[in-house]
Structure 1
Amino acid sequence: MLLSCEFPIKRLVTRDLLACAPDTPLIEVARLMAARRCSSILVLDGQTAVGIFTESDVLGFDLSNPALATMPVSSAMSGPVQTIQGDLLVGEAAVQFKRNGIRHLLVVDERGQRLGMLSQSDVVLNQGAEFFLRMRAVSSIPCHTPLVLAEEMALDEAVAEMRRCGRDAAIISYADGGHGIFTQRDIVRLIAHGGAAVGMVGQHASRPLRSVQAGQSLYLARKMLAQNKIRHLGVLDDDERLVGLLSFDDILSSIEDEYVSELGAALRERDQALWESRYHLRLADRVFESTLEGVMVTRADGTIERVNPAFETLTGYSAEEAIGRNASMLSSKRQTPEFYQQMWTQLKETGCWQGEIWNRRRDGELYLEHLTISSICDDAGVCTHYAAIFADITQRRMAEERLNYLATHDALTGLPNRSLFGERLEHALRCAQRTQHRSAVLFLDLDRFKLVNDSLGHGVGDELLKMVGERLRASVRETDTVARLGGDEFTLLLEDVGDARHVAHIAQKLLDAIGAPFHITGEEIYVTPSIGVSMYPDDGEDAQTLVLHADRAMYEAKGAGKNNFQFFIGQMNTDTNEQLQIESDLRQALERDELVLHYQPKVDLGDGTVVGLEALVRWQHPTLGLLAPGRFIPIAEETALIIPLGQAVLREACRQGREWLDAGYVFGTMAVNLSLRQMRWEGFLHDVDTILAETGFPAEFLQLELIESQAIDGCEQCEGVLHALAARGISLAIDDFGVGYSSFVYLKSLPFDTLKIDRSLLAGTAHSRRDVAVLRAILAMADALDMTVVMEGVETEDEAAMLRTIGCPQVQGWLFGRAQPAHEVGPRLARLPDVACAPPAVRAPQPSLVR
């Protein structure tokens, strides 16, 4: 490898600078240079280099001038001093030597501080040129034709001839055929010794002239120069004739030529590498700019440094808006802190993270992107930047979700298909088994759908199926499932249904919804459904069995004339049909006045007089006979028939009470049971006022009973109704007290004036002091609240005796009279024919309990 690629200049400099002041006499300067065998001296004015004096400068002296020795160096020095940076390569110094025609350069560092002096000799003697010098012969480089002077030439004439020919050395020819050499350094030595320019040049030349064969290597020539501490060698041909003079300058010129050649090759190589690098950079920039994926480069702290056009398109932020801001500006806030923590942990551990993330565009729109983040580290392995590449996959995700949706849903109606229905049914059955809840499967088929398709076309048929699906979905809860199996077959999954009657009501609702006319393309179309029902766990415990049984029940519905529903054949089917029959008959009973009232007396336990009557409804069924309330009241409650039924009961009780009052009978209060559903009906208070006005029954004689669990329902509307009733003077009683929550809060805040204790607190009192204590406590509490107490369900004399002992004022039960028709109860009532009727002696609530 050549020296130009090996060494910086600062490794070759002579650091021990030889220097002098500008006024130093030349004789002193010459002595310094001769003593140090140095070819140059730096002239300093203080610390500033103002010039340089070299051996070449002595050729300009007139050696015959006696004042030469005392002349100051400033008069002969060269300036300004040429400098070179110490970090440059040696070959560059060789080029500068030749270009400027000099042999010395002052070497400085990057701050301009002097490092030392570099001469041509330093470059030639550099070991980095050995390979080159070994490969080249002396004859390969041009040598100057030597200046040959006769030994008898006067010294001053010889110096003048050297100056005229521009030579730094001359060969001296002696009469004996030998040769010597006279150089600039010899002139410096003469000046140093103060000698005058007298005598012949031969007397001051060095002899013999050391020589080298032209065919020998430059390396050998350089070695001879270094070992003998000389700067010139004679060049001999094969016949031992002197044909040239080889100097350091000649060798340096050859080295410089080689360096220039090498430098040119290096520059060409560099230019090629630079072109390739720029090409790849331009290519990378084009890829960066043209890629359809967004690219964002950030610093380690998240500050955005660069984005591409796709980033601007995808996010809505221009490069000017994004650069300098933190990448968190894109955050959608949909990911949790844990998500980001895991992302950064993986990024720091592996240098890369890839995944899906929701981000937000400039206009606030959310979009899903597939994001890849890579760490960019420096040579020390420290992360300095992150590169994020992302693509908007919102549409792709929507397409995937659409495909998944189509795989589980009917394409026409948008309802779940057979596959999804099966999955939901399996899940519902597992939940039902765990929670002990009941579920139902309904299988629905349209009765006249084929006729619609054949007569009006498949387009109308498809529209009809979509509308049927919409009506089915609107008829059930959001938690229920409506599916289309295909054709005109639909299935429904009803979870947590309670009992079969609930399912029957939904089935009837579906019959009504589908049976209503459909309006399609100007046509009014009618279809009817046939519905089969199976119940879990009664009709099966697995999905396949339940669907099969519902399907069979649907065919039974078709066989029964269509446009109806049938439960799977079994005992539940019988019970359900019976309940449905009761519901249907009850609607007719209201129209036919089949409901009758029986009255059960409440008596004073002290003297046995009747102090009140409770009106209890019975149903005189045309085929089933007299039905107790338990057979039909729950159905009335569930179907909202309780509202017209309650109106009828209240009207009849008030009418009968008015009749007895007009006949002079004394019976205290007329108690009528009240339903929470009635109170919640917005027309309830209006009905009460209307009935009282139409029958003429005094409000003070009316008592409305509400069971305890309903009394504390917490409904603000109901509380308002209770206070409105109390404001009208109507007595309010809590029925079945003791089996509900028995909270003092509602006793304090609601305007009840009577407690009717449930029989369950009376059973077994003859054997339990605890039960008696409870009854005593209730009596004490009621007395403190100024409330009347009635013990329900008294059936034996022992029970009556115990109640007398603890001070219970009023009782009701079979021991004192069962519920009987009005014509049987009348004779038991006290009669005051000549006295105007007066309100019963019911204690009014305390002012603090009345609002």
Structure 2
Amino acid sequence: MINTSSYAIPVSRLIARPMVTCTPATSVREVARRIFAEHCSSIVVIDDGQPVGIWTEQDALAAGEDADALDRPIGDVMSAPLLTLDAGTPLGEAAVRFKQSGIRHFGVVRDGACIGVLTQTDVIVNQGAEFFLRLKPIESIHVHPHVVVPAHQRLHDTIAQMRARKLDAVVVEYDDGGHGHGILTERDVLRLIVNDRLDGVVGDQASRPLQSLAATQSLYAAQRLMLQRHIRHVGVCDGDGRLAGLLSFEDLLQNIEDEYVSELQNAVRERDEALGQARFSLRMADRVFESALEGIMVTDRNAKIERVNQAFTRLTGYTQEEVLGRDASLLNSGHQPPGFYAELWRSLETDGHWQGEIWNRRKNGELYLEYLTITSIRGNDGEISHYAGIFSDITQRRQTEERLRYLATHDVLTGLANRVLFEERLERAIIHAGRSRRKFAVMCLDLDRFKLVNDTLGHSAGDKVLKVVAERLRTGLRESDTVARLGGDEFALVLEDFNDVRDVGHLAGMLLDSVGQAIDLGGREIFTTPSIGISIYPDDGVQAEQLMLRADQAMYGAKSRGRNVFQFFESNMTSSAIAQLETLGELHRALEQNEFCLYYQPQYDLSNGRIVGVEALLRWRHPRRGLVPPGEFIGIAEQSTLIVPLGRWVLREACRQARAWLDAGIEFGRIAVNLSARQCFTDEFLGDLSAILSETALPPERLQLELIESMAMNTREEIGTLLRELVARRVSLAIDDFGTGYSSLAYLKDLPVDTLKIDRSFLGSSDAHNPDRAIIRAVVVMGRALGLDVVMEGVETQEQLAFLQEVGCHQGQGYLLARPQPAERLTEHMRRSCDALLAQLESA
């Protein structure tokens, strides 16, 4: 983990600059000026050619506290004697001496003469612990709590505080709102001494801002930041970004884990066993070298390959025999610009290392992206002797990152742009059109009755349809256009650079034809047509939200025209949309103020005229419009969550009325209530049903729930589970408007329903040979075969009644037999004898 080979380097090789000296008579002020000018941290005091003491940045605190001391000779205030190390002392031993002594500077002596100064910084930079420091976060070592002083505190008081508490730095806190902290260090005090600026408050003289790192970052990051910024302290921030302490260069040496210090000491203690340890280390290094998962390549100073490991062979395809003696450039891909390698070599020569991403080429010619770290290796003479490159293949990781970036802006199912990317493209189109004063179009496209495909054939089939539609849209557009899937079966398009609005209409027509073509799903042809709404910039709006809203309104206008058409936005559509919002608001108020009521229409046994059931039908007593039929408001309620509380109210009111009829001794068969898909899919539905039946004391077999055909035929497991649960509770189930959807007869026989209600549209024609009449006959026969009751809706004429009796239809409902009416009127009707109806049935 630690490069112990660097411990043997003699400290004389670490002296990077000439020693700065002065005589004992030199004034403190002049000494401070010399240190500041030379950008060093100490000065050696020489008397008669011999070092007698040293004065450092730390000593500047005493001078900064007492301005009169600045003119005293340095001999009076220097630190003496100068502690020294022999020039041949190994780095490892020097590191231990620094830790034990607690000082920051040693004089380096050779043959009795002081040849330079070794600093704590020199040890940390050269100890070869980069890998160790990378593995250790700052929070893993003890970081001293920081001492904070207010910015308005007098500078003299702050320096005195630093000296008294032996602080090499204090944090300065400002109250100017969000500008962070500052720091005053021994080096800052030295600067103030030189510039004669020891008066005033600390906030004016502190270094600002305080350079900081998160506690989770590595010690290596802290070391690099200190070296790059030429500072000795960095702030340490906790997870909330608050300053939690100060990390100094001294901390890197003094507080690295016991494991590190122990290894330093072992390195010194085991020098007598150097030969045996060297052999063991060599063997271990070989094993690590060969077993490493990263590729490793070692070259001489001229970049000729001397050794590679097994991972190198696995990653590049080249064996060691094939590359020995060859130039490392044999892996070059040619994808880096010429200046890339010049910068790489410059970094190696000046910094001693380089790391980054680079494209290289395997033996088989395949390109791959690698993360490469190259380190310069210097010999005992200080000259570069070798280079070591460690790399890993990050091609897959880069592809994953690019895939994630793609998924952030594209729809997973279709590969089209998603809402995020579409909105970016739309904003860009607005900017471009605004500059060029051109128009562009926005389209909203929705698939007609797509829910029916999901409900009858399953979501897998629906996904296949969406993929086909997406490809047809993509094929039908130009490169400059954008098509996106916003969700579900909703698509949006931006069409730029057209010359005439008629071109947009022509393209919309082509899309209608293309999307509306048959889709083959495993031998079954499915037709799903689109409805398209179009808005034009700037005619219909200059903001993205306006254009999307009005294209959406136009799309609903297209649906209201019969679907499979396109519709340009018209100003009255906004009025219609506003009217719908107003109606929705009125519906909420109506529910709160009890403006809804139920009408009831009986169902009759066509063989004997008896009432066998009553359907509850919702009406709205509007304070201005009077009695409003459901066709004018149910659709709006269905599109909102209001249908859930409204449906709950209908169910409770119908059950309450049915219980009242039972208590009055009136036989009515079963009360039938229409069930909304949105209502039955809520988690609360079964709980609400149980509570209502319990509150009203209505026997569950007296309740029939009517489901529309597409919902009953839904192949989703939760629908089947729900229906089986309802039957288990003895609630009757009917399929309403049967024949209008895509019913699977094979699935129908397994549904736990007992009643089919044929849609009234099949009874409209009086032609006995009309195909619709044939469908009625078939449904009646099928119902009998499956043991289901068949109810014909919309019976309005004697001819229709006679036909139904002829084909053996069980039950009927319609204006001929009885109109929907309030509960009071129906109660009177049910109390009267049914003799008149029997006579009518006999004469039919």
What interval of TM-score do these two structures reach, taking the shorter chain for normalisation? 0.3 to 0.5
Larger radius of gyration: 1
TM-score computed with the length of structure 2 as normaliser: 0.38
